[in-house]
Amino acid sequence: MVPLALLPCASRNFYARCADCTDTVRCALSLVLAEARDRMASVLEGTTLADANALDRRFQLLRKVA
């Protein structure tokens, strides 16, 4: 399993407190990164391989036009 969070303090499965953190509950960076992690997870959970393949085909067509 690979963590989605950009920092360990925002991870659900690989949590680790940052070495210089003074307040894990009120850390604004941790809260923002936890929200980013949740949104990324939502996108990934709602995307199928077929969706990704269709997106890739659209990008290929755009490259041919440009």
**Residue-level pLDDT at 64:** 86
In the chain, the amino acid numbered 46 is G
CA-only gyration radius of the chain, Å: 17
Mean pLDDT, residues 49-65: 91
CB-based contacts of 7, cutoff 8 Å, min separation 6: 18, 29, 30, 33
CA–CA gap between residue 46 and residue 64 (Å, rounded): 28
pLDDT of residue 1: 82
Q: Considering Cα of 52, then 57, then 58, then 59, what sign does the dihedral take? A: positive
Tell me which residue of 15, 52, 29 sits closest to 4, measured CA to CA. Answer: 15
- pLDDT, averaged across the chain: 92
Residue 66 clears pLDDT 80, i.e. is over it: no
Tens digits of residue pLDDT in 13-34: 999 999 998 888 889 999 999 9
What's the pLDDT score for residue 35?
Answer: 96
